[in-house]
Amino acid sequence: MKKLLFSCLMVSIVAASNAVSFLDTFNGNTNPVNAGQAFASGATTGFSFWAIGTSGDMDAGFFSVVNKAIDVHSQFHSSLDADNDVNGRYAVYNGFQSVDGLAYSKVMSGLVIGEQYSIDAMFITLAPDPPYNQVSNLRFELDGSALGSDFTLTPVALGSEFWTDYGRTFVATSTSHTLSIKNIGGASNAGNDFGIDNVRIQDAPVPEPATMTAMALGAAAMLRRRKASR
């Protein structure tokens, strides 16, 4: 039994040691001068940068990092970030006629071949319905190829906006992969206006480390009961 307990604990430690964690809350991107189209986290985008305070509404194919979407477009809503932080920030995109649709891309290195990882983020639509009926069509990509199924953000009435979490998992076949979020709506006359917050990439082992820890604790309890019965 002692050997079993030790083995469970070792599996938990090994799983934790393989963890690769990345989180972009966008809170460090305080209206950056973004000529290189790079976020403070080191992620990049194919959209052009729109500075807060620029005259008029944000043009198609541009992105910005804002406290509220209405900061850059008068027709967008005024929701706070996914954490409902009055000082928080998130990325917003006017996806209409975007050149390549690449909203967010991050090269992750230090991955363990054969390990399972996950990427997820919080999403919100920007233009309310009514009067706009504009969906946003998005996908996660791994090294430029679709990762799982595409998904659609549906607009809601002003004041009813909400953040939704979407995510996908993958097994590393290399020690480095490029993980991306892409607007796949293409050129159109409406739609694909969306916000992103809390992009997270992390180890997603099977079973989860918490499960392994529970197994170890269970084994310890069995060992204690066995000793008590003697």
Residue 107 is predicted with a pLDDT of 96
% of the chain at pLDDT higher than 70: 73
What is the CB-side half-sphere exposure of residue 157 using CA atoms within 13 A?
1
Structure-token pair, residue 158:
């002003």
Between residues 181 and 218, the one the model is more confident about: 181
pTM for the model stands at: 0.79
Q: Is the pLDDT of residue 202 over 50?
A: yes
pLDDT per residue over 163-175, tens digit each? 999 999 999 999 9
Residue 184 is predicted with a pLDDT of 87
Topology (CATH level 3) of domain 19-204? Jelly Rolls (2.60.120)
Residue 189 is predicted with a pLDDT of 54
In this prediction, residues 15-19 reach a mean pLDDT of 53
Beta strands in the chain (DSSP E): 22-24, 48-49, 62-66, 90-94, 102-109, 116-125, 136-142, 145-146, 151-153, 164-171, 176-183, 193-203
% of the chain at pLDDT higher than 90: 49
Between residues 181 and 185, the one the model is more confident about: 181
Residue 29 is predicted with a pLDDT of 65
Give the residue among 127, 198, 117, 134 at the shortest CA–CA distance from 164.
Answer: 198
Between residues 177 and 219, the one the model is more confident about: 177
Between residues 133 and 139, the one the model is more confident about: 139
pLDDT per residue over 90-102, tens digit each? 999 998 665 578 9
Confidence of residue 207 (pLDDT cuts 50, 70, 90): low
Every domain of the chain and the residues it spans = 19-204
In this prediction, residues 46-72 reach a mean pLDDT of 91
**What's the CA gap between 124 and 63, in Å, rounded?**
14
Confidence of residue 40 (pLDDT cuts 50, 70, 90): confident
**What's the CA gap between 220 and 222, in Å, rounded?**
5
Q: Which amino acid is located at 177 in the chain?
A: H
Q: What backbone torsions phi and psi does residue 88 show, to the nearest 5 degrees? A: -75, 170
